[in-house]
């Protein structure tokens, strides 16, 4: 099993920035994938990501990197955060989280779904806009630095 560490993150990032596509398209594909990964439709993220790639001609590797950020280990924390953020905005019913999850979903299903969805739409859009801007700037800076390095190397060796 592959561990998530700095080296793995760096390798994934280097793969992303060296893909043969524009920085805007890569960043948009990743940001849309990230938005999908935060959605409450857990289990359908990959299918939705593939559909977006096909329908909107997005970059598949960048999309899947975004889609697969939220996995089984992080999902409970992500959805709990979305729920609490949605509850802050919506000012919905406060649900006793000491109850078993089955009882919470049986008695408060509609409230939970509404609050998670509101949290996802509001926080998800903000996170994705931020990730688009940061990733596009980073890809552009990385490519410019690499271009300058290859230019200076070719001038030194005529």
* Chain segment 18-42, per-residue pLDDT in tens: 888 999 999 999 999 999 999 989 8
**pTM for this model (two decimals):** 0.82
How many structural domains compose the chain? 1
Is 136 part of a structural domain of the chain? yes
3-state secondary structure of 44: coil
Residues 6+ apart with CB under 8 A from 142: 17
Rounded to an integer, what distance in angstroms lies between the CA atom of residue 35 and that of residue 131?
A: 10
* Chain segment 43-65, per-residue pLDDT in tens: 899 999 999 999 999 999 999 99
Lowest model confidence (mean pLDDT) among 20-24, 86-90, 152-156: 152-156
Is 1 part of a structural domain of the chain? no
pLDDT score, position 31 = 97
What is the domain extent for residue 111? 6-156
């Amino acid at each position: 099993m592959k561990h998530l560490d700095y080296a793995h993150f760096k390798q994934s990032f280097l793969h992303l920035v060296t893909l043969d596509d524009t920085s805007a398209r890569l960043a948009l594909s990743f940001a849309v994938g990230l938005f999908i990964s935060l959605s409450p439709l857990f289990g359908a993220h990959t299918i939705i990501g593939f559909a977006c790639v096909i329908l909107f001609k997005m970059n598949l590797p960048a999309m899947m990197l975004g889609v697969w950020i939220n996995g089984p280990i992080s999902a409970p924390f992500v959805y709990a955060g979305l729920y609490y953020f949605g509850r802050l905005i919506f000012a919905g019913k406060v649900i006793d989280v000491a109850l078993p999850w089955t009882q919470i979903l049986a008695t408060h299903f509609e409230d939970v779904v509404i609050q998670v969805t509101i949290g996802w739409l509001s926080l998800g859009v903000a996170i994705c806009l931020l990730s688009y801007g940061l990733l596009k700037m980073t890809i552009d800076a990385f490519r410019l630095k690499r271009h300058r390095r290859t230019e200076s190397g070719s001038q030194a060796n005529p």
